[in-house]
Structure 1
Amino acid sequence: MFALKPKGEAEAQLSAIGRSQAVIEFDLSGMIIAANKNFLDAFGYRLDDVKGKHHSMFVPVDDRDTPEYHALWASLNRGEFRAGEFRRLGKDGREVWIEASYNPVLDSSGKPFKVVKLATDISAKKLQNLKDTGKIAAIDRSQAVIEFNMDGTIVTANDNFLNTMGYALHEIVGKHHVMFVDPSERSSAAYREFWAALNRGEYQTAEYKRIGKGGKEVWILASYNPVLDEKGKPFAVVKFATDVTAQKLKNADLAGQIDAIGKSQAVIEFNMDGTIITANANFLNTLGYTLNEIQGKHHSMFVEPAERDGSAYREFWARLNRGEYQAAEYKRIGKGGKEVYIQASYNPILDLNGKPFKVVKYATDVTRQVLVRMGNERVRSMMDSVAAGAEELNTSVREISEAMTKSRETASGAVERVASADARAQRLSEAAKAMSGIVDLINNITGQINLLALNATIESARAGEAGRGFAVVASEVKSLANQAKQATDKIGQEIGSLNVISGDVVTALGEIKQAIDHVSEYVTSTAAAVEEQSTVTSEMSTSMQRAAAEAAKIAAG
């Protein structure tokens, strides 16, 4: 607090203070008496704006009626000095932070009669401190933090660190950092150099393997930060760490998977323009190249010339540049023009912004399987042709079988008709023979008539004139008998010819019947053979169709 001093000395002190600090005077009720330019500038007021008003105009509304604010003025009225950092309000509600002292001024009797407040505007510093405090709080919430002395002994640690390592604070304070280090590393030159570098003020950051409580293995991504004093000498080390154990295990698993893929598959990497970055031994062996022969060259070196300039190939790389995965069976050209078939996937690798920056291709050589499949397809095609031919043959055989059956039926009908004709011819022959007998009988009768006519002629001659009429009759009878004999002779000749023809017909019909019998036998035996052939052909057609179906399944994989 201020006591009364000689006027000249007091004015000199106030003048010196007024040049460097914000100064404002209050009566004991808190009403403003005066304020210097530094104060007014800091709060954005003119003297007329504040003079005669209460100190509470600078206090946030929520703080004005609090017990703490009333206690401040009560203590000042008792002559008690108050100092600290205070949040105040400037003009238009602007927040101003000050570091200030409230100094009661005493009269000659030692009784306070006014208050002089000396203040420094620390708004910028306070804002930075708040930011720093917020940052530290944010770090403390999100990261594991531990503090060490320069000899490595532990000063303190936050909950994140303790939870990560599985310890309570009292179990680690005062102990050395070495408790978290793998036993095989503790006595190493590298570990000694680690602490030597920190003692030289050198920042250390890396991924570290540490040992938690119970021997638990913990991986952390950490920075060890030497804290320097005003002379630039380190006096403490603050470590900020993130537990990356899960990520480390995942990465190890992924690395193991990638390594396993690399051992079993052909792998090649490309830039997004298609130029080759690298390739593993499996890929090089499959295509027949060395790495030097392909590195820096374009993927199109493996593509058939006819395909390189096609729109499909340009679209292939356009899709990869859009981050679209591509997978299929591809025909590629190896060294010396050899054809290689691969089952491959082209995988765009994305950066943190989701933009592809390279392509990794995983491939399996399926040349042998493709050639086998092509062979199977050719075999299937041939078998399809054979099966179709067998089916056509089966159809033809069925048609022949049906024709032979009809032929057999026709031959049987012909045999029956020939037999019927033969029977009729036999009857005709017998009738002709019977007619020959009748002709003979007629010839005998005509002979007898001629004999009677002769006798009549002789008798009429003996009778003379009386027998002349009888002679004429006898002559006519003889003439008729001769005509009858001529007709009968002609009929006999015709019947003889008919007998000859009937005999020839009977003989011919017998020969025809015999021939038709032979034909019928041949047709019957042929029909039986055709029936057997039809059965065999049908079975062969069915078997070929089954074989073609199986070949199709094999070709399909």
Structure 2
Amino acid sequence: MFKKAQRELDTCRAEKAALQAELDAIKAHIANITFTPDGIITDVNDKLLNIIGYTADEVIGQHHRAVCFDETSQAPSYQQFWQSLAQGKAQKGVFRRRHQSGAEIWMEATYVPIKDANGKVVSIRKLAADVTQQYQDARRQEAILAAINRSLAVIEFEPDGTIIRANDNFLAAVGYQDHEIKGQHHRMFCDQDFYDENPDFWANLARGQFTSGQYLRRDKYGNEVWLEATYNPVFDAKGNVHRVIKFATAITDTVKQNQAVNQAAELAQASSEQTLRHSENGSALLQEAVKLSQSVNDQAVEATNQVAQLSEHAQSIENIVTTIKQIAEQTNLLALNAAIEAARAGDQGRGFAVVADEVRGLSQRTSHSTTEIADVVDENQQLIKGVSEAMERVTEQSTIGQEKVTAADTVMSDIHAGAEEVSATVRRLTQ
């Protein structure tokens, strides 16, 4: 009997040693802290002290609330938390706690009630791990995803294009409810032309090939929907694509505006090219007009010069007529004197008198004719003067006209240059 008792004692000692070894291993490698059932700290290891930033002397004997924020310790759920532990109900989760510096820390922990032989809870042991960085990273990722969901249209697919889910922005863009698209294929949004032109679209995504661009899709009612989108393969731990996430922005209004701008630009280009052709034709016509105006001006100057010469010739004729008239008057006077002398001579001078009479008649007719010629010459002089003045005005107006035509040609050249620049600019915009 003694030996049996000894064996049982040895077994108990071995079990105790094993349990103590396990406990020592836990204390050495896992952050842990021990509380009374009502939350007073009785023991704490260095790993947990490193997490909360306190020394053992600063926390032993203090209540658990010393490492909690007021909004946690003053909440009704906090009292319920310790009541549940005191009743032997373990608690686990990710808990927000306060570092000695006042900073926020997060611990993934399990609070384990320790019972005595009678089943009474005698202490609470907490095993914990610092997950502050992971929690903050997760919160940042959640914030990013929330921001993406607020601002972008998001839809998830199986690698073969079967729809898993879509957010409200995507559903609003295509006009469907979630249950109407879940389990359907991506092609429900596409024209057949898209798959004719991209037969390996989903096969490439399933191989992990990212793709992006502007895509024409159809909403529930068949209306055009333009999306600026990226299709992003998501890999599992083995490196296989297990889903595809599409991030998109609806750009229908922008695309239609761009199409309208392009149409306007094409019209502007056609108009500018037509203006360019018209300006080229106008410039050519003006060049001809300049040459014609120059020719008219030259001819007007030549005519003015000829009129001036004609005026000089008329003046010469007038001088000659005056001379002839003077000769006729002298001849008439001589004939008169001859007639007087013939009368004095009697019958001997009768023949001479006849000749003198004829000469006098001729001189009178000559005088009369020269008077008529003088009148005609005078009238011609007046006409030539009028013509000369008119030609001077014509020449002056022709010169002014030539200057204006030349100025118009310069303006047309500027218009032509401007039309060329506009045409070139519009051409660049439409390329």
**TM-score band, normalised by shorter chain:** 0.5 to 0.7
Contact 1:390 1:540 survives alignment (8 Å): no
RCO (CA 8 Å, sep 6+): is it higher in 1 or 2? 2
Q: Quick one: which of 71, 80, 85 aligns to 1:71?
A: 80
Aligned residues: 352
Match of 2:20 in 1: 11
Once residues 387 and 140 of structure 1 are traced to their aligned partners in structure 2, the CA distance between those partners, rounded to angstroms, is 86
Match of 2:61 in 1: 52
Structure 1 residues 364 and 250: alpha-carbon distance in aligned structure 2, compared to 1, 3 A threshold: farther
Asked if residue 234 in structure 1 is aligned to residue 241 in structure 2, the reply is yes
Listed one character per residue, the Cα deviations across residues 140-190 of structure 1 (whole Å, up to 9, x for unaligned) are 12221112234533221101111111112222123222211213556x594
Structure 1 residues 174 and 144: alpha-carbon distance in aligned structure 2, compared to 1, 3 A threshold: same
Asked if residue 212 in structure 1 is aligned to residue 219 in structure 2, the reply is yes
Match of 2:335 in 1: none
SS in 2 for 1:92: coil
SS in 2 for 1:38: helix
Structure 1 residues 519 and 373: alpha-carbon distance in aligned structure 2, compared to 1, 3 A threshold: closer
Of stretches 68-77 and 212-221 in structure 1, the one that deviates more from structure 2 is: 68-77
Listed one character per residue, the Cα deviations across residues 110-163 of structure 1 (whole Å, up to 9, x for unaligned) are 232332111111122112212221222222122211122345332211011111
Q: Quick one: which of 372, 377, 390 aligns to 1:536?
A: 390
Structure 1 residues 252 and 55: alpha-carbon distance in aligned structure 2, compared to 1, 3 A threshold: same
Listed one character per residue, the Cα deviations across residues 67-118 of structure 1 (whole Å, up to 9, x for unaligned) are 2333323322333221111122212122211111122222333232332111
Of stretches 27-36 and 384-393 in structure 1, the one that deviates more from structure 2 is: 384-393
SS in 2 for 1:221: strand
Match of 1:301 in 2: none
Q: Radius of gyration: which is bigger?
A: 1
Provide structure 1 residue ranges, at least 5 long, that are not aligned to the other structure. Answer: 267-342, 344-362, 405-509
Match of 1:52, as an amino acid? G
Once residues 390 and 203 of structure 2 are traced to their aligned partners in structure 1, the CA distance between those partners, rounded to angstroms, is 97
Q: Quick one: which of 152, 160, 165 aligns to 1:156?
A: 165
Structure 1 residues 117 and 392: alpha-carbon distance in aligned structure 2, compared to 1, 3 A threshold: farther
1:521 CA displacement: 4.4
Once residues 392 and 53 of structure 1 are traced to their aligned partners in structure 2, the CA distance between those partners, rounded to angstroms, is 129
Listed one character per residue, the Cα deviations across residues 437-457 of structure 1 (whole Å, up to 9, x for unaligned) are xxxxxxxxxxxxxxxxxxxxx
SS in 1 for 2:161: coil
SS in 2 for 1:213: coil
Once residues 306 and 115 of structure 2 are traced to their aligned partners in structure 1, the CA distance between those partners, rounded to angstroms, is 136
Match of 1:42 in 2: 51
Contact 1:386 1:544 survives alignment (8 Å): no
SS in 2 for 1:120: strand
Once residues 393 and 49 of structure 1 are traced to their aligned partners in structure 2, the CA distance between those partners, rounded to angstroms, is 129
Residue identity (%):
31
Q: TM-score, normalised by structure 1?
A: 0.52
Match of 2:181 in 1: 172
Contact 2:213 2:228 survives alignment (8 Å): yes
Match of 1:551 in 2: 405
Larger helix share, 1 or 2: 2
Match of 2:428 in 1: none
Match of 2:31 in 1: 22
Contact 1:77 1:112 survives alignment (8 Å): yes
Of stretches 375-384 and 10-19 in structure 1, the one that deviates more from structure 2 is: 375-384
Match of 1:222 in 2: 229
Match of 1:500 in 2: none
Contact 1:208 1:219 survives alignment (8 Å): yes
Q: TM-score, normalised by structure 2?
A: 0.65
| CA-atom RMSD in angstroms | 4.7
Once residues 96 and 301 of structure 2 are traced to their aligned partners in structure 1, the CA distance between those partners, rounded to angstroms, is 101
Contact 2:235 2:241 survives alignment (8 Å): yes
Contact 1:154 1:173 survives alignment (8 Å): yes
Match of 1:215, as an amino acid? G
Equivalent residue runs for 1:458-473 within 5 Å = none
Contact 1:201 1:226 survives alignment (8 Å): yes
Once residues 138 and 61 of structure 1 are traced to their aligned partners in structure 2, the CA distance between those partners, rounded to angstroms, is 30
Contact 1:152 1:177 survives alignment (8 Å): yes
Structure 1 residues 379 and 18: alpha-carbon distance in aligned structure 2, compared to 1, 3 A threshold: farther
SS in 2 for 1:215: coil
Contact 1:393 1:537 survives alignment (8 Å): no
Once residues 243 and 86 of structure 1 are traced to their aligned partners in structure 2, the CA distance between those partners, rounded to angstroms, is 41
Contact 1:146 1:157 survives alignment (8 Å): yes
Equivalent residue runs for 1:434-513 within 5 Å = none
Match of 1:525 in 2: 379
Contact 1:98 1:123 survives alignment (8 Å): yes
